[in-house]
Amino acid sequence: MISSLLRDGTEDLKNYLLRVAPPGKWKYHSSVVTDEDTSQLIADAVRSKVLDNLSEEVPYGITCKIDLVEVNEVGTICIRVTLLCKEKRWVKVVLGHQGVHLTQIAKDASQELRNLFQQEVYIRINVASAK
């Protein structure tokens, strides 16, 4: 039995993996965190926060469009995203009372992206109807 919480069997697992791993060069340089497209990472982060903060069918009818990604003179990643709602009435749901839902989505997405990119992130999210 292996338990990382109890650190039971983890050393055996590590030794096994080192023993059976084929020798060779690394596919990517050690500084490469991911080979996924930056826009895709941003869209996934925003989409996951939409799913976390909205209920029922609303999050599944929203498309995330990346409008702008740039790094400013102080090194902050500036991002502009548009959430396109399939139904016009969902725009109000996404915004929430006094923008509370959208603010929380932006705050959560910004924190996730800050952790991912290891630098300051400013994100602006607009909401529009696809119709």
Structure confidence by residue, pLDDT tens digits, 96-120: 999 999 999 999 999 999 999 999 9
Helix (H) or strand (E) holding 108: helix 100-117
pLDDT at residue 121, as a whole number: 97
Grade residue 32 by pLDDT with cuts at 50, 70 and 90. confident
Mean pLDDT within 90-95: 94
Strand, helix or coil for residue 69 = strand
Residue 31 confidence (pLDDT) above 80:
no
Strands (E), the chain: 62-71, 77-85, 121-129
Would residue 23 count as lying in a domain?
no
Task: Tell me what pLDDT residue 131 has.
Answer: 75
CA count, 13 A, side-chain hemisphere, 101: 19
Order of strands across the sheet that contains 121-129: 62-71, 77-85, 121-129
**By residue range, what is the domain housing residue 80?**
38-129
* Residue 5 placed within a domain: no
Backbone φ, ψ for residue 92 (5° rounding): -65, -35
Answer whether residue 81 shows pLDDT above 90: yes
Give 26's pLDDT tier (boundaries 50, 70, 90).
Answer: confident
Q: What is the pLDDT of residue 1?
A: 82
**Placement of tokens 């500084």 in the chain:** 31
Mean pLDDT of the chain: 93
32 located within any domain:
no
Whether 67 shows a pLDDT value over 90: the answer reads yes
Helix extents (H) in 60-99:
90-95
Q: According to the model, what pLDDT value does residue 30 have? A: 78
Number of domains comprising the chain: 1
Q: Which of 90, 79, 21, 4 is nearest to 54 (CA)?
A: 90
Give the Cα separation of 7 and 1 in Å (integer): 10
CATH at 58: 3.30.300.20
